[in-house]
Amino acid sequence: MSSGLVYDKNGWLFENPQENVMHDISIDDINQLLRYAEWEDTRVKAIKHALDERNEAIRNGIDVPEVDYILEQFLIMRTEGTVTQMPYGLHIITFPSKGHLFRGEIQNYHKSIPSLNRMLKDGMSNKEKELIRVIAHLRKRQFGRLIWKINVVPYWEAKISDINFDALAQHYGLATHLMDLTNDFKAALFFATCKYVSETDSYRPLTQEDIDKNEDTQFGYIFHTPDWTIDFLNGGGTEWSFKHLYNTDPVNAACAEKSFFLQSGEVDGLAFQIGYQPLQRCDHQSAYVYPMRNGRPLQNNWRFEKMRFHQSVEMSQHVYQMMDGGKRIFPNEGVTELHDYIERIKHSVAFSMDELREVYEDDGVKKTLFPTFDTLKTALIGYTTSDGAVSIQNEPIEYDVPQKLLDTVNSHYDGKDLLRAVGGVIRQTPFDREYRKQRCIAIYGKLI
């Protein structure tokens, strides 16, 4: 039995998508969506193959038919390996676009909002909410310093692309104002049918006991939107871009010269490819981040179609096996060995002065609430959280990882063909190549 999937020319799965209703879908519907996903994969590979053949012909001096420049650039952007700069400043390497964005949830959460949003309670003052955000950013900074100890991380920043520490923090369990999305239906279905086990940082199939726990656990949920509605690289950010990046009005022209903060609310409602990163989880999940600092829950967002389906042990096991026990989107990578350290950082309340200064200057702290660094420092010291009172010290906060453990972590990455990891090619402008050289010198003191 089918619920009436239509998959219309604009990319919607149902008629009248703006009605914002819940669609009950069947196993047949899920199988149809899996077939759509296979078709999308085939189409993406065909586009990449055609562009590779065209580029090879041009390199060999063979005449090729002229293609509209804008169309060609759009197609290049939709394939993997293209360097592009995001409005929040980072240069990323794209992975394939597939025309759709999804989110899978294993049960009814009633209000699908980012983890940091859930920490901000009604009745809190704006200053208290900002302090909680600052603490989250401080923990993100400590997470960044921890993973910087992994050889591939500084090397990646020096030679491959910028590192999105906000997105990596989100994907490794720290609180952010970001919501995970994916352009791969199979990945969304996995997260909607398989259960996360925090103790092992892994997933397992559902049991009948899991499903029968309460009314909310009896259904899995899928959110969907065509990428043109919100994907910054595929038209979703057109209106925002003209207002903030291409505005020729002298009053607003300064917008084109600034970088926007990913979690500040300035880019809420746009979805951003994370791109290839040195830690593999993001690209294995074809992952996007969707900033929602001030956004409404997905249940109330008309841009997302809502689907639910009856959970079953059989389907969960089938999806688990289809995704190779989760390894296709949740790879067994070295950073998992640092799980205990990451858990400590999630609950940290001791921070350094340098970390606080970085957050104040680089993470979009509201200067109307804390007009100077000292006003923020004074308000933060002694602020009590569920993990204890905050302290700020002059010395760096060190998470001393034994060399033997670091060697184990590095063994997962050292010697890997990083060019192959980003699709075999990096398409970049001379400006991008020079920018990467400067990053290399800043990190290693020389070109390597």
250 pLDDT more than 60: no
User: In this predicted structure, which of 11-20, 52-61, 302-311, 326-335 has the lowest mean pLDDT?
Assistant: 52-61
- Higher local confidence (pLDDT), 327 or 314: 314
**Alpha carbon distance 157, 154 (integer Å):** 5
Cα angle for residues 307, 309, 314 (degrees, 5° grid)? 145
pLDDT for the residue 256: 47
Query: What residue type is assigned to position 435 of the chain?
Result: Y
155 pLDDT more than 80: yes
* Average predicted confidence (pLDDT) for the chain: 90
- Higher local confidence (pLDDT), 64 or 233: 233
Place of tokens 């949003």: 117
- Higher local confidence (pLDDT), 281 or 256: 281
In a 10 Å sphere around its CB, with 0-12 CB exposed, 13-18 middle and 19+ buried, how is residue 222 labelled? buried
Cα angle for residues 2, 8, 9 (degrees, 5° grid)? 160
pLDDT category of residue 66 using cuts at 50, 70 and 90:
low
**pLDDT tens for each residue of 168-220:** 999 999 999 999 999 999 999 999 999 999 888 889 999 999 999 999 999 99
User: In this predicted structure, which of 15-29, 249-263, 344-358 has the lowest mean pLDDT?
Assistant: 249-263
pLDDT for the residue 71: 55
Mean of pLDDT values over 272-299: 92
Place of tokens 């979690």: 263
Mean of pLDDT values over 218-232: 96
Domain edges within the chain: 1-44+85-114+177-332
